[in-house]
Amino acid sequence: MKQLLLLVPALALSFAGAASATTLSFDDIGADGFVAANYGGLDWSQGDWFAFGEAQDPYTAHSGDYRVLSGFGDSDSATTIRSATPIHFDGAWFAGLGGATVTFNLYYQGALVSTSATLDPSSKPSFLASGYAGLVDQIVVASPGQGSYVMDDFTFTSAVPEPQTVALMLAGLCFVSGVARVRSRR
């Protein structure tokens, strides 16, 4: 029983550390083309996000070569990025034409929960933070100049532990429980 009590803080720590930040750099796409509908575990199918790797000023990548571009003249709704499970969205890096201002509209369960600050891009990539610490399941990249900016290093954190983490924790609990039963019978 004593060992089981010692396990409780360890379990709390494992859950606290289970979620880790994911940064989508788009470099693993490896060829110019539309972003896959399920890229990075998110749903990009709402819009026509296009990845490209060729150097082109002012559309500068923040890291690596690849970055994504929304469709020219798209509506803001065509830049929607969805998550099947709630996430904490940190933000992304932008570069592009001045005047193609960019803002994040963040949604959770269909309701607008936050709007970020507005960033006016230039050829030097700048980070636009979401400015929101709560859960979201939909991110809209709003801009009057769709197609006039690029986005790179899109960063988010899963709000729930990965299934492997939960399975490993449950296996550990079963093991400790079994050891405690055997010892209590002695």
The CATH code of the domain at 21-160 is 2.60.120.200
Query: What whole-number distance in Å separates Cα of residue 81 and Cα of residue 46?
Result: 7
Extents of the domains making up the chain? 1-19+161-186, 21-160
Number of H helices, E strands in the chain: 2, 10
Amino acid letter for position 17: G
pLDDT at residue 9 above 50? Answer: no
Query: What whole-number distance in Å separates Cα of residue 74 and Cα of residue 92?
Result: 19
Q: What is the pLDDT of residues 13-30, one digit of tens each?
A: 444 445 689 999 999 999
pTM score, whole prediction: 0.77
Which spans in the chain are helix H? 2-18, 163-185
pLDDT at residue 68 above 90? Answer: yes
Query: What whole-number distance in Å separates Cα of residue 151 and Cα of residue 91?
Result: 10
Higher per-residue pLDDT: 113 or 172: 113
SS3 of residue 133 by DSSP: coil
The position carrying tokens 């610490």 is 133
Radius of gyration of the chain (CA): 21
Mean pLDDT of the chain: 86
